[in-house]
Chains A and B, each alone.
Chain A
């Protein structure tokens, strides 16, 4: 499975859009991009995922570049409750017993929303 690179930390003003980048330059055509977040001391929470096209749901938007080598998670109006570690993960479309890393977490980005 492809590896991801994310900035260690970011700040965002409350009410502004938070744009979290992720580099996955070795992604293959059969790998999805998933985003999760983990608020302190809680389990990871699913946010959104996509393959090629941009995606939007009630929580966020996911913008994937045309070459699929990077993506950006957008929280349109960040609130204090969005302060969390955000993980970008690539996950294969197919599973094989040799593909042990069904969902391998990188180091993630600590997003701090400031009042």
Chain B
């Protein structure tokens, strides 16, 4: 089973709302990732967690707040977003951060900020 599950699939939120995107994997992977993808563009890395600790933050604005409560779960908390933050948010996981370990992606959460 190489499944990464993301919820919700679609989310519409106002600029003053607080919401969260959730990601879950049961492959025993210890590295998890958040990517953002705008229309007709490639995915862009946002955050990387390794063994539940934040390893990489690609200078993401603080209105995006990641959380890794345990090795199977990864959340992305959203607050005071802007319309330009509307995008497909992809979660991914891999066995760990060492080489040759394939990164598996979820189907993404479509976010619309109004």
Contacts and interface: CB of A to CB of B under 8 A. Distances in A.
Interface of A: 30, 32, 34, 36, 41-46, 49, 51, 87, 91-95, 97, 100-108
Given A42-B108, A43-B105, A43-B108, A105 B56 contact: no
Contacts of A34: 102
A32 B100 contact: yes
A34 B102 CA distance: 9
Contacts of B104: 46
Contact of A102 (B33, B105, B106): B33
A42 B107 contact: yes
Contact of B97 (A44, A95, A101): A95
Chain A to chain B: the 6 pairs with minimum beta-carbon distance, closest first = A93-B99, A105-B42, A43-B105, A95-B97, A43-B107, A44-B105
Contact of B42 (A42, A92, A107): A107
Nearest to B48: A102
